Chain A
Amino acid sequence: KAGVTQTPRYLIKTRGQQVTLSCSPISGHRSVSWYQQTPGQGLQFLFEYFSETQRNKGNFPGRFSGRQFSNSRSEMNVSTLELGDSALYLCASSLEAGRLSGANVLTFGAGSRLTVL
């Protein structure tokens, strides 16, 4: 069974540009969450999607957005990039939305490392 696949793995952008990151969840998983990892702030929750609907959102500015498609694949977009957006962006999928359980836990992808110059 393939794991969570994130593309691209590495990318470099300049300030002011925008970027789109993609996440393909484990087959059968319907919930996708995104996290940002930086040396200073650590791991922070961005948002969660289920059935193409955003169910939960973290404390990030509106420049950060996402969406989910009918096949559960998800994309996140960051517009007007700032130097501080340089980070590892991690996607995680789970079977269902709602409460975690023995079977419904988060599985993370390898991440997309974004560098903003």
Chain B
Amino acid sequence: AQSVTQLDSQVPVFEEAPVELRCNYSSSVSVYLFWYVQYPNQGLQLLLKYLSGSTLVKGINGFEAEFNKSQTSFHLRKPSVHISDTAEYFCAVTQGAQKLVFGQGTRLTINP
């Protein structure tokens, strides 16, 4: 069975600092990986996805993630965060079907 572990439940950073949100997955087969963001009182918005090809994936709002098959990781990074990045971030995995398995989420707090 697939599972996703987001290693940090909360990450506080200062504005304009870099940030990395960590995600590890477990699966014995090829997977598709996603990062979604959830702003307060809203649904999930797709940040980026890895389906195949280049292991460095660029998404919206300046975020990027790197797929590392040997370490079964898909960490999310941003070189300089803004107050508006305050939200909860979810890593998700699927073997290709519509059923996504989500991590527990990482709450990113940006301090001025």
Contact = CB atoms under 8 A, between A and B. Distances in A.
A48 B98 contact: yes
Interface residues of A, number: 29
Contacts of A94: 98
B43 A110 contact: yes
A100 B46 contact: no
Contact of B102 (A43, A98, A107): A43
Interface string B92-108: 10101111111111000
B36 A58 contact: no
Interface string A18-57: 0000000000000101010000001111001000000110
Contacts of A97: 98
Given A43-B90, A102-B51, A108-B36, A56 B44 contact: no
Contacts of B92: 43
Contacts of B43: 4, 6, 90, 108-111
Given A99-B97, A111-B43, 15 more contacts: A6-B43, A33-B98, A33-B99, A35-B100, A43-B100, A56-B97, A90-B44, A92-B44, A94-B98, A102-B51, A105-B46, A108-B43, A109-B43, A110-B41, A110-B43
